[in-house]
Amino acid sequence: MINEDTIQHIKEMLARSESRDVIAHCDYIIEKEDNEDNKKHVAQLFYLRGNAYRQLGEWGSAMSSYLEAAHRDPESPARQAYANALEILDFYNHDLYNP
């Protein structure tokens, strides 16, 4: 069963920019613990995995993880993270392309 200590440990790894380790750790736990009893925690793991992908600049994978987290837990911060990622990706500097 996933507990708050596990989530906290992953957050600390993310704060140290151990992005690849966060992704691997989240993937492992999600595969082993994805059931109705852990629904909120699994949503958190998808959100944290999305943040790790964002740190790596892998925007497609980040957005997929955010969407999955939001689907599993509509109250998750993943919905806002997804919207923020869209804004970043939609940014267009007109002066840069039209001198």
- Confidence check: pLDDT of 54 > 90: yes
- Which residue range(s) make up the domain with 27? 4-97
Q: How far apart are CA 79 and CA 22, in angstroms?
A: 20
Taken as a whole, the chain contains a residue count of: 99
The CATH number that applies at residue 67 is: 1.25.40.10
The yes-or-no verdict on residue 39 having pLDDT over 60 is: yes
Q: Tokens 């990622």 belong to which residue?
A: 85
Tokens 């509509």 locate to 74
State the chain's mean pLDDT as an integer.
89
Per-residue pLDDT at 98 exceeds 90: no
For range 82-90, the mean pLDDT = 84
Is the confidence at residue 92, as pLDDT, over 70? no
Over range 63-84, report the average pLDDT.
93
pLDDT at 94: 54
Contact 9, 28 (CB under 8 A): no
Structural domain total, the chain: 1
